[in-house]
Amino acid sequence: MDNEKLCSRRQALGSIGAGLAALAVTQAFAAPETGKETFVSAGLEDPRNKYPKPPFKEQLQPWPGLAGKMDPVPDHGEKSYKGSGRLAGRKALITGGDSGMGRAAAIAYAREGADVAINYLPAEEPDAQEVVALIKAAGRKAVAIPGDLREEAFCKKLVEEAVRQLGGLDILVNNAARQQTKASIMDISSEEFDATMKTNIYAPFWTIKAALPHLKPGSSIIATSSVQAYAPSGELYDYAQTKAATTNYVKSLAEQLAPKGIRVNGVAPGPIWTPLQVSGGATMEKLKKFGGDTPLERPGQPAELAGIYVQLAANDGSYATGQIYGASGGHGQP
């Protein structure tokens, strides 16, 4: 090809590129009736009206509750979350993976290419089986491991089983939690206090210790904290202090494990519509108005936090460790 033909070809390609760019700009900026340029963005959603607002109907389930029996049923991203391969080949263990943020993370992880093991209580089997089906539908391996995290022996067995069935482990999400509302400290028995401490503090301690020998550089540990860690409610005396402890163990462990190339971060949700609320985590009066006092005037849905759990596990989030990511509808500090 001689220089004259080469120049002609470049000019033609340049003209085509300029034409396409002009067309794109014309489509994106237009307001002929006013003569002003306005950016037109497709797919915007008003966060105030995206999901149900209070008042909610009174509803009570025995602990630990089922998402499938809630009204309205929470959105965990079953229909909305679209993956893009950000966690391809990864292997994740999620406690409390049957509902709430754990379920949202499990769905998102699978659609991002990870194999996922979930833990849950035997009473939560109906919810758990839905999650297993969703993971498999994404073409990934699903491992269901029911059991009580308040037992140290089970926590060790849980990690061993997850590693065996997944063929390794590089993401650990400590999400399971116990929350029971009590108007007074005098109403909390030692047995109830112990159950909350073991579920929310002891279990992550046991699972992390069991998982660490399997975690290689690039692995992630993610904890579910809460807005209760820094803005505690009077009726959640025991639960709130466990979430303050969770926030602190994230920061402490991040310092400890950074030299090993293992990142540790946390997510601090505000009022999120999960079975915690309808199985003793909130009074009926608070449940009816749940989330209404936030600037967005509604509770969040687990699906709205799924992307945070993905980001904290993905390779492109590699500089984040010791961080707490908040999602509380306009309230909160992280």
Catalytic residues: 239
CA nearest to 109, candidates 123, 91, 124: 91
Distance CA 146, CA 329 (A): 32
Residue-by-residue DSSP string for 218-280: T-EEEEE--GGGTS--GGGHHHHHHHHHHHHHHHHHHHHHGGGT-EEEEEEE-SB-SHHIIII
Nearest to 239 by CA among 288, 302, 282: 282
DSSP 21-34: HHHHHHHHB--TTT
Quick check: 146 and 123 in contact, CB under 8 A? Answer: no
Q: Return the sign of the alpha-carbon dihedral for residues 132, 135, 138, 141.
A: negative
Task: Dig out the tokens for 138 from the structure.
Answer: 């994404």
| Residue 257 near residue 209, CB atoms below 8 Å | no
- The H or E element that residue 119 is part of is strand 115-120
Cβ pair 181, 155 in contact under 8 A: no
